[in-house]
Structure 1
Amino acid sequence: MDYRTRSPNFRFKLPFALAPLALGTAFTLPTSALAQDAEADVAADERITVIGSRLSVRTATDGTAPVDIISGEQLAASGLTETARALQYAVPSFNFPSSSITDGSDAVRPASLRGLSPDHTLVLINGKRRHSSALVHLNGTTGRGSSNVDLNAIPISAIKRIEVLRDGAAAQYGSDAIAGVINIVLKDQYEGGSITLNGGQTFEGDGEQYKLHGNVGFELPNGGNFTVAAEFHNKNKTNRAGLDPRQQYPLVNGEPDPREDEFDRLSHHVGDAEFDNTSVFFNANLPLSTGELYAFGGVSDRTSQSGAFYRRALDNRNIIEVYPDGFLPLLSPETSDISTTGGYRFSLGEWQVDASAGMGVSEFQYRLENSINASFGPTSPTEFDAGTLKLEETNASIDFSRFIPFANNSDLAIAAGISYRENTYIIEAGDPASYENGGFDNRPAGSQGFTGFKPESEVDESRDNVGFYAEVENMLTTNFQWGAAVRYEDYSDFGSNTSWKVSGRYDITDELAVRATANTGFRAPSVQQIYFTNISTLFINRDGELVPEQSGTFNNISPVAQALELGNLEAEESQSFSMGLVWNGLDGLSLTIDAFQIAVDDRIILSSSLVPGDSPAVADALAAAGADNARFFINAVDTTTQGVDVVLTKDFDWGRNGTLGVQAAYGYNKTEIDDVNLPAILDGLETKLFDGVEQTRMTESVPRNSGSVAFTHDLGDLQTRLAFNYFGDYVLQNNAGLRTTFGGKWITDLSAKYRYNDQWTLSAGVQNLFDVYPDEQDPSNQFNGIFIYPNTNAPFGFNGGYYYAEVTYAF
């Protein structure tokens, strides 16, 4: 039987029999068995500190909440060229689906943890908050209405390890850490380096790519170091579109145009975008007599290109004099990320102090090529600057920590700190030709593929917040560790929040331990969700006549939102609970099992569009604002996510036959909608604003089951790796109500690496060895057979097999 208790502070839904065990344990350091290989390079007497704890540990399973530690070598060994994709294959609970024809989301794809929204995961670099992308995901991808950190802006060659805390940690790190925390630790070598050239293509012969990347370290005075890593990555597009069978040209004297027989029916682009990505990151520290200076940061610049829907020659959106055969609008956004952080660590009496400040800027410039503004007629430009989104973030903090004597001759770790953050969101209008109506022949206005941002969409708004936290941790006995944290944050735009966390671990025997955490969390509405707006003039066919309508996304400070009494966006609040078992035994076999529940209240969604016919109140609000339809961001949904993560590792020593490392991982998550809450003026519109399409996207578009089994064999200078990755069933629904279940698939990867000498290493491999594709869509949902595979939310993409080779020179 399920029992549910609700209060303003906590909500849980667990089998009642598990509650005493769950509440009887409480907080510590999160690690998991996946970390064993990552720690193999750490000296036996060196203690490492990872996210989620103020204490240090020696082994991967010494903690009370799960953390996956993936080394840079493990990421590189996969042969995957994107940081987010490599992380997806290393951590089953991390989802990074592929999408196509989703506007800007083709260039910056959303990623999520434990089946929650992309913005429910906090990303850190060297323990400091990383800024998110300026892009808002507006189309049919996972996390519609969210913005996420662009992990692919961080080159794999710069990464020493990645720590993934699969537990709520808002009390420790602040907003966004509802599903967990990803901490990227940058390389910090004193000398030497490497340079790698990687190249490959799909079995179909497209998607050719090459990546040149490397890193080098330098020694600084007093034992300091400076490391710089750089990457240039070029990738061509893939295309799995079906042939377009439709009539392309106007009839000639009532007969088909002869050009129909010669037209290239592969007119759409349904596949990965092509791109060029250049990035440079650095990491430095300089010990001084009084402490240590440190700094890190990087620059990333990406130009990508993807297609929109093909405009046929006979299409009203085409100008036949410009494109006699029709055209495919190309979105060619330019994306850039800049960040830098500096700080000073020093001792102040018994206290260790860390004072730091950093800034980050994300810029997303919409550009259109091979496009047209049909309302300008034959004189229309074919390339457009459709506007720019920009996010600026400044962070400053000072942290204090120390140990003091405690009960049973143990030490109590105490930490406290103050943080300040300012976020600014900017929208710059595009070229006038990208949004103006030229008045030609009553044709649609705006650049085709993406209508430019109008001057009335421009914003330059900021918000700031101050946070205070305190945290304690203690190993009370050799068998029991506990901890607690509390955090208060005050925001200039919506108010304040207090969150807490308690956790603990008890070692029943030398091999078996139990662990659990309980916490509350929050996610402040992002400045993108508060201030994003994009208003377009669309021509709608009304009884055979094209009628202009004012349509778009309106922010919550707009007249439309005020007339609908939406109020300001509020913080999402969560209540999380986890419990787990850790077992180390049988000659190096380790196993962790962690169950979790995350209840989130007032989740922010991007609504469907409201029109005057929905209700008299809506009609009045739209009329007063001069809008014909509107969608907006709103706190509307309560959800509960439950799941379990299992990780198992074992190393085998086969003597003269080498060593074999085995890793297996499984993740399960299920999200249910508990309630949909709307302002009174919108009563009865729940299924309109949050329809079946969006409900399915939130609860079933991510596989509930995922897993992997990997075998790594080392024999002298030769290493081979065989991995099986499972992506379970998922469901998508279209606007007509058709629900399609896409079956689970196994993806097999095989690679080999040979170390020729101390300098040269050769590698080759195959990803998706058996050329597995997702299930095909229902024919009624293929848009005339063009969209054969799901173009959104495909967990492992739809490119089929891929083979590659690479060579590395170390120095």
Structure 2
Amino acid sequence: MKKLNPITLAIIAGSMAAIPAAAQQQNQPEAEVEEVLQVVGSRLSMRTATDGSAPVDIISGEDLASTGITETAKALQYAVPSFNFPSSSITDGTDAVRPASLRGLSPDHTLVLINGKRRHSSALVHLNGTTGRGSSNVDLNAIPIAAIKRIEVLRDGAAALYGSDAIAGVINIVLKDNAQGGMANFQLGQTHKGDGEQWKLSGSNGFAVGDDGAFTLSGEIHSKNRTNRAGPDPRQQYPSLPNGEPDPREETFDRQSFHVGDADYENVSLFANLEVGVGESSTFYAFGGVSDRTSESGAFYRRALQSNTLTEIYPDGFLPILAPDVKDYSGYAGFEWMLGEWTFDLSAGYGFSEFQYNVKNSLNASLGPDLTPTSFEAGTLQNTESNVTLDAQRFIPFANNSDLSIAMGISYRENSYEVIAGQEESYINGGYQDRPGGSQGFTGFAPESAVDESRDNVGVYLEAENQLTTDFMWGAAVRHEDYSDFGTNTSWKLSGRYDVTDRLAVRGTANTGFRAPSVQQLYFTNISTLFVDRGNGPEPEQSGTFNNVSPVTEALGIGNLQPEESDSLSFGVVWNGFNGLAVTVDAFQIEIQDRIILSGDVTPSDSPAVADALANTSAENARFFVNAVDTTTKGIDVVVSKDFELGGYGDLKTQLAYGYNDTEIDAINLPSLLDGLDDVLFDENEQVRMTESVPKHSGSLGLTHQTGKWSTNLQFSYFGTYDIYYSSGTETYGPDWITDVTVSYQWNDALTVKLGAQNLFSEYPDRRSEGNQFNGIFVYPLTNSPIGFNGGYFFTEVEYRF
């Protein structure tokens, strides 16, 4: 890919000085949302996000696109301070589908909707040392920014409204629904180091259907080259000569052998949204999309002197490449109609996620040089979800001449999970010279890991909302769910808002919530080679992840997984001041009981019970999912926005946003058969990951200035300190300040040209301490960094609207 001309990069810096300072506005100021909205978390129509009883961020698709950020999840991270989307490298499948979280909780504590309908999660289970280890999250990057009209982020528990998973909050992605017009956009950029070259072609177009219908088609093609920030490998690479002297090839070996950075990446996605009237009071709607992604990321380098290398094939050693193929399909269809005073909505949807593990530039050393392949299909994970829902809503006369909104409904959901074994050469041990078996880089799924299981549930709910007076509104909801595996759960929510004056309001909520154990946590199982650091650096071990229906977990008395349950409180103040000033301050507390964790590795030497359980397996250690931890998360979110009219100097929109969260562990409850192993099952590493791996403080100051044909966006983002545990102890990273800027010129009514810089001053995370750099190779933290490890990214963009 052709690199950007240095003159282009200079233009960016020059444009910053020449154009009035401005802003990237992530959360559109509420006063600017003129249309009447039905915002996530409420069935009452409202004009702005500040009208409700719970905090909601509304981010328009235009604001997401204006940043120049090419990934939906990353754009949302810079838009909502309480949303975290950390970078990772050398973390197997997590390099391709990274976890994201809200309010410092687990990725699976946030429910994602599209057009108000539940979105399925990824088939991938995060197994390595990243934030959200043991969870599966919705892959937001499967949804192109070009398809998004707006994103609504409800920062409040809402399980009583939407069901499982909505403990931290709800993200509702509203798709574009224009009946005419469209856009085409092309972006080209690279990092300041000259790598990470990428281009993205995206577009959207609306078509009229009938007299009042609309069909909108949106898509993107995104290609990105890898980045690499690994240090040189100083270690001995080749066996010593018979006389004890080093091999002469040590002098010429390319010691930039590891890959630490973003993966090579290709993604194609297409989304469609249809809505058309049927008769006078009925509407048919349908939406869905497809995404197909491939990526290539590195594992640990295999040196020529190691037993897991065959020098007949790779005389200088080799870097195994994990090259998964990630597919995502979804579709919803529904019919909404009036019957008397009632509005009914019947919908059905299907979601499918597939994560196929492919390994390239590898081998199975135990098969010998004549029989081993060098690429493998190592197995496939598949997750499917089907939903059928019937909702009914109406208004009835209520006290004080007000209307009471009554809503009720019933839903059916089926979740299925499948683990498909890889090709035989990816997992077997052929016995050649006692070499280790399985494909190097990622050991394939063996037939004993194959799973094809499902579960279903039925939910019923009742909601009531009322604007009792012009100053006071209240809401209540209750939901009952019945699951085929663990039983039932009932959750409730109360909310209220009181306008003290025309400008000052107070609001609050109280709710209980739950998260059913995911089918991934219930059924995922695998035995593979993982690099485990037990104090002497990463060493390979045959590590077994055993699901809760396996003989191993039954022998250890793990028990069936139960739902996580939560109790949440929030209280906020809203100030709509003079001349468009808006201030919201919301404090919250979320208590979660029986959080599900992926345990640490227990070995036969830890306990006779473990030795007996693993006796008939090939695993050297075992880990499993278990309800084990109670936590309390407290925090506060602040958003301040203000518009300024500068006369002949244009218009300026400003926004200051700040988020704070702190998670504390209240109790640890582990299986009785494994008494005394608390420090192994939920060790300091996992405790730090749960409570300290996400910055407690984050914030941003965004400025958007427009004058004539020029528009400039400037944002300062702050990410506070976070911790990572190593075998030598815990290290603290941060804080970090990031500056982003874009300058746009509207050439004519249709054509806009943009230049921009993300991380303008090329900030990097703090370096790992010398003792934790793995021989100087891992210079920066491999996981958890909110700012990544690429430095600055500079781009140019052209957009055509029609």
- TM-score range with shorter-chain normalisation? over 0.9
Determine whether 1:264 maps to 2:248.
Answer: no
Judged with a 3 Å threshold, the aligned counterparts in structure 2 of structure 1 residues 242 and 419 are, in CA distance, closer, same or farther, namely same
Q: 1:540 to 1:412 in 2, by over 3 A?
A: closer
Question: Does residue 59 in structure 1 map to residue 51 in structure 2?
Answer: no
Indicate how the Cα distance of structure 1 residues 626 and 208 shifts in structure 2: closer, same or farther if over 3 A, else same: closer
What is residue 47 of structure 1 aligned with on the other side?
36
CA distance in 1 between partners of 2:259 and 2:530 (Å)? 24
User: Is it true that 1:92 corresponds to 2:81 in the alignment?
Assistant: yes
Q: Output the CA distance in 1 between the equivalents of 2:254 and 2:133.
A: 33
CA distance in 2, matches of 1:424, 1:515: 40
Q: Distance in 1 between matches of 2:174 and 2:386?
A: 20
Q: Tell me, yes or no, if structure 1 residue 276 matches structure 2 residue 266.
A: yes
User: Could you report, residue by residue, the CA deviation over 1:524-547 in whole angstroms, capped at 9, with x for unpaired residues?
Assistant: 000000000002479999xxxxx9
In structure 2, distance between residues paired with 1:397 and 1:488: 14
The answer to whether structure 1 residue 704 and structure 2 residue 696 are counterparts is yes
For 2:293, the equivalent position in structure 1 comes to 302
Task: List aligned pairs for 1:15-54, cutoff 5 A.
Answer: 35-37=27-29, 40=32, 44=34, 46-54=35-43
Q: Which residue of 2 aligns with 1:244?
A: 233
* C-alpha distance in structure 1 between counterparts of 2:441 and 2:659, whole Å: 38
1:91-110 → structure 2 map (5 Å cutoff): 91-110=80-99
Q: Which residue of 1 aligns with 2:487?
A: 495
Give the 5 Å matches for 1:80-479.
Answer: 80-253=69-242, 254-289=244-279, 290-379=281-370, 380-479=372-471
Seen in structure 2, the aligned counterparts of structure 1 residues 551 and 656 have a Cα distance that, compared at 3 Å, is: closer
Distance 1:513 1:77 in 2: 32
Query: Which of 790, 795, 799 is the matching residue for 1:804?
Result: 795
Q: How far 1:566 sits from its partner (Å)?
A: 1.2
User: Closer, same or farther in 2 for the Cα pair 1:562/1:63, shift >3 Å?
Assistant: same
Whole-Å separation in 1 of the counterparts to 2:303 and 2:648: 66
SS at match of 2:712: strand
The C-alpha deviation readout for 1:87-126, integer Å capped at 9, x for no partner, is 0000000000000000000000000000000000000000
| 8 Å Cα contact 1:445-1:537 kept in structure 2 | no
Aligned 8 A contact 1:444 1:538 in 2: no
Q: CA deviation at 1:192?
A: 1.1
Is the alpha carbon distance of 1:750 and 1:538 closer, same or farther for their aligned partners in structure 2, counting shifts above 3 Å? Answer: closer
Structure 1: how far apart are the matches of 2:423 and 2:453? Answer: 22
Q: Does 1:530 align with 2:522?
A: yes
Q: Is the 8 A contact 1:222 1:288 kept in 2?
A: no
SS at match of 1:587: helix
Deviation digits for residues 234-280 of structure 1, max 9, x if unmatched? 00001000010001111112111111111111000000111100000
Which among 762, 774, 789 is matched to residue 780 of structure 2? 789
Task: Determine the C-alpha separation between the residues in 2 that align with 1:405 and 1:36.
Answer: 35
Indicate conservation of the 8 Å contact 2:29/2:642, yes or no: no
Contact 2:715 2:741 in 1 (8 A): yes
User: Which AA in structure 2 matches 1:498?
Assistant: T
Is residue 499 of structure 2 the alignment partner of residue 507 of structure 1? yes
Q: Distance in 1 between matches of 2:75 and 2:755?
A: 16
- Please tell me the residue identity of whatever aligns with 2:746: R
How far apart are the structure 1 equivalents of 2:334 and 2:529?
49
Number of residue pairs the alignment of both structures matches: 771
Is this contact kept in 2: 1:122–1:129, CA < 8 A?
A: yes
Residue 339 of structure 1: SS of its match in structure 2? strand
2:26 and 2:797 map into 1 onto residues whose CA distance is 25
Question: What amino acid sits opposite 2:771 in the alignment?
Answer: S
Partners in 1 of 2:529 and 2:270 — Cα distance? 41
For the 8 Å contact 2:29–2:641, the answer to whether it is kept is: no
Per-residue deviation, residues 159-214 of structure 1 (Å, max 9, x unmatched): 00000000000000000000000000000011111100001000000000000000
**What is the distance in 1 between the residues matched to 2:440 and 2:27?**
48
Write the distance in 2 (CA, Å) between the matches of 1:38 and 1:408: 29
- Look up the SS of the partner of 1:612 in the other structure: coil
| 8 Å Cα contact 1:304/1:332 also seen in 2 | yes
Q: Matched residues in 1 for 2:395 and 2:753: separation?
A: 48
Residue matched to 2:664: 672
Aligned counterparts of 2:621 and 2:27: Cα–Cα separation in 1: 51
Letter in 2 for 1:321: E
Deviation at 1:621, TM superposition (A): 2.9
**SS of residue matched to 2:686:** helix
Q: Secondary structure of the residue that 1:181 maps to in structure 2?
A: strand
Q: CA–CA distance in 2 between the matches of 1:417 and 1:713?
A: 46
Report the more deviating stretch, 120-129 or 55-64: 55-64
Distance change (3 Å), C-alpha of 1:540 and 1:513: closer
How far off is 1:785 after superposition? 0.3
Moved more, 162-171 or 250-259: 250-259
Q: Which residue of 2 aligns with 1:10?
A: none
Structure 1 distance, partners of 2:237, 2:514, is 52
Equivalent runs, 1:475-624 vs 2, <5 Å? 475-536=467-528, 551-623=543-615
Alpha-carbon distance in structure 2 between the residues aligned to 1:284 and 1:117: 33
Give the deviation of 1:324 after TM superposition.
Answer: 0.3
Q: Is the 8 A contact 2:544 2:620 kept in 1?
A: no
Change (3 A) 1:540 1:633: closer
Contact 1:36–1:60 (Cα < 8 Å) also in 2 = no
Cα root mean square deviation, aligned = 1.7
Specify the alignment match of 1:22 in structure 2: none
Q: Which amino acid aligns with 2:563?
A: A
CA contact (8 A) 1:240 1:788 kept: yes
Question: Can you give the 5+ residue segments of structure 2 that lack an aligned partner in the other structure?
Answer: 1-24, 534-538
Distance of 1:318 and 1:626 partners within structure 2: 21
Q: Secondary structure at the residue paired with 2:161?
A: helix
Check conservation: 1:339, 1:359, Cα contact below 8 A.
yes
Q: Give the one of 717, 736, 746 matched to 2:709.
A: 717
Query: By how many angstroms is 1:686 displaced?
Result: 1.1
Rounded Cα–Cα distance in structure 2 between residues aligned with 1:90 and 1:627:
44
Distance in structure 1 (CA, Å) of the matches to 2:363 and 2:540 = 18
The answer on whether the counterparts of 1:693 and 1:737 sit within 8 Å (CA) in structure 2 is: no
* Maintained 8 Å contact 1:93/1:115: yes
Q: Is the 8 A contact 2:124 2:136 kept in 1?
A: yes
**Partner Cα separation in structure 1 for residue 327 and residue 530 of structure 2:** 30
Shift of 1:586: 2.5
Residue type at the aligned position of 1:649: S
For residues 371 and 537 of structure 1, do their structure 2 counterparts lie closer, same or farther at Cα, with a shift above 3 Å needed? closer
| 1:658 matched to 2:647 | no
Deviation at 1:622, TM superposition (A): 2.9
**TM-score, normalization by structure 2:** 0.94
Larger deviation, residues 642-651 vs 676-685:
676-685
- Runs of 5+ unmatched residues, structure 1: 1-32, 542-546
Give the superposition deviation at 1:716. Answer: 1.3
Q: Distance in 2 between matches of 1:223 and 1:539?
A: 59
2:22 is matched with none
8 A contact 1:444–1:539 mirrored in 2? no
Deviation sequence 1:662-706 (CA, Å, 0-9, x none):
001000000000010012212221111000000000000000000
Offset of residue 600 of structure 1: 0.6
Cα deviation for residue 34 of structure 1 reads: 6.7
